[in-house]
Amino acid sequence: MALIVQKYGGTSVGTVERIQAVADKIGRFLSEGHQIVVVVSAMSGETNRLIGMAKQIQDDPTPREMDVLVSTGEQVTIALLSMALHKLGIDARSFTGGQVPIRTDSAFMKARIEHIDEQSMRGDLAAGRVVVVAGFQGIDPEGNITTLGRGGSDTTAVALAAALKADECQIYTDVDGVYTTDPRVVDSARRLDHITFEEMLEMASQGSKVLQIRSVEFAGKYNVPLRVLHSFQEGPGTLITVDEEVDMEKPVISGIAFTRDEAKLTLRGVPDTPGIAYKILGPIGDANIEVDMIVQNVGADGATDFTFTVHRNEMAKAKKILEQVAKDLGARDVLADDKIAKVSLVGVGMRSHAGVASRMFQSLASEGVNIEMISTSEIKISVVIAEKYLELAVRALHAAFELDKPAS
């Protein structure tokens, strides 16, 4: 008998029929003698629908009210799934985040889980019940409803698995595992049998939304066995593992992540003097805008260009701040471009192989794709390119690094 935490994503609970199919599936696990805690997302599209209604009223609603609103999506699915289980004669009870309770800080819309009291869940499990928990939400010290950021149900599931010391946390979704790249973009993408936490964290950070970043961090920190599987197809899925395989044949690159979520800002003609990066990025940081990639050229004649990327949603705000900075510094002008994309190669194999960057750049060059920015870490290389070349670039790199070929 195992204690398993299962999470079903939005498309897996997108209709009443699917919710009933999920209940059937849970019934099969119970009949094998397992104890099950289930986490569900809102029905697919529901969170976006709720956000859309809020935006019709106010451009910038208060985060507290946003969380009261968007947390309702998951309250619907926990109740419906519990009813579907009851219909099968299975004892089950639904819980909102606050009822568990899942205690978070007060950072509305991006709250962090601080503590989970698992005692009452244990009581329900011991009484033979399925515990059905709303994903993506918690409660702050003042009793306010909080949410964990988009895709946060993954984190709820991993955090519950950590608190309960579950045998496995299973993330059920609409793909049968983690692929070499998004299978919706590259037909020849392959499912990986396993991927390390470190690689998965980098894939998620660089834009692969199959798992929320925080969920991977949590699983790594608390050593939660984590698996991604298809909700309605049998298969082993992908296991996220701690160990790097000691395998000389291991491919250099494990996967390709990409994102359209960033925008690029350039301050042209700034004086090339000490302290300039601070003078530019200080006000951006003060406005709580996160900066990702940064490039500063060496000035040829005492002046230089300074370029960095931020989240696309914050481009307008960042541009306004930079225009003031440009005036103060006597810079020439400010350019903003949100038609960019970032493509990243990820793999622990990079540590022991040279020449990954040059192979990447060669492959992009042969497709005529211009590289606008580059950044690297030990297990990742990212480039910023024009958004219109994104799919071409990902397909070319997928082929160049032979990711479509089964690992030997």
List residues binding ligand ASP (CB under 6 A).
10, 41-42, 47, 73, 135-136, 150-153
Q: Does 96 sit near ligand ADP (CB under 6 A)?
A: no
Half-sphere exposure (CA, 13 Å, Cβ side) for 141?
A: 4
Query: How many angstroms separate the Cα of 326 from the Cα of each of 117, 272, 322, 334, 372?
Result: 51, 13, 6, 7, 22
**DSSP-assigned letter for residue 298:** P
Q: Identify which of residues 150 and 319 has a Cβ nearer to ligand ASP in the complex.
A: 150
Handedness of CA 262, 267, 268, 271 (dihedral sign): negative
d(Cα 219, Cα 204) in Å, to the nearest integer?
13
Q: Does 182 sit near ligand ADP (CB under 6 A)?
A: yes
Query: Nearest approach, Cβ of 73 to ligand ADP (angstroms)?
Result: 12
Q: State which of residues 6, 35, 41, 254 lies at the interface with ligand ADP (CB under 6 A).
A: 41
Cβ burial, residue 285 (10 Å; 0-12/13-18/19+)? exposed
Cβ burial, residue 21 (10 Å; 0-12/13-18/19+)? middle
Query: Nearest approach, Cβ of 50 to ligand ASP (angstroms)?
Result: 9
d(Cα 178, Cα 176) in Å, to the nearest integer?
7
Q: Which amino acid is present at 327?
A: K
Q: Identify which of residues 158 and 280 has a Cβ nearer to ligand ASP in the complex.
A: 158
Query: Nearest approach, Cβ of 4 to ligand ASP (angstroms)?
Result: 19
Q: Does 158 sit near ligand ADP (CB under 6 A)?
A: no
Place of tokens 């690689």: 199
Total residues in contact with ligand ADP, by rule CB under 6 A = 19
Q: Return the residues of window 223-262 that contact ligand ADP according to CB under 6 A.
A: 255
Query: Which window, 7-15, 49-57, 316-324, 348-356, contacts ligand ADP (CB under 6 A)?
Result: 7-15
The neighbour count for residue 198, using CB atoms within 10 Å, is 21
| Contact partner at residue 208 from ligand ASP, ligand ADP, Mg ion, none, CB < 5 to 8 Å by partner kind | ligand ADP
| Contact partner at residue 6 from ligand ASP, Mg ion, ligand ADP, none, CB < 5 to 8 Å by partner kind | none
Dihedral-angle region of residue 10 (phi above 0 means left; psi in -120 to 50 means alpha; beta otherwise): alpha
d(Cα 227, Cα 161) in Å, to the nearest integer?
12
| Contact partner at residue 97 from ligand ADP, ligand ASP, Mg ion, none, CB < 5 to 8 Å by partner kind | none
Q: State which of residues 70, 139, 169, 210 lies at the interface with ligand ADP (CB under 6 A).
A: 210
Q: Does 208 sit near ligand ADP (CB under 6 A)?
A: yes
Q: Identify which of residues 76 and 400 has a Cβ nearer to ligand ASP in the complex.
A: 76
Q: State which of residues 11, 72, 99, 363 lies at the interface with ligand ADP (CB under 6 A).
A: 11
**Contacting positions for ligand ADP (CB under 6 A):** 9-12, 41, 151, 173-175, 178-179, 181-184, 208-210, 255
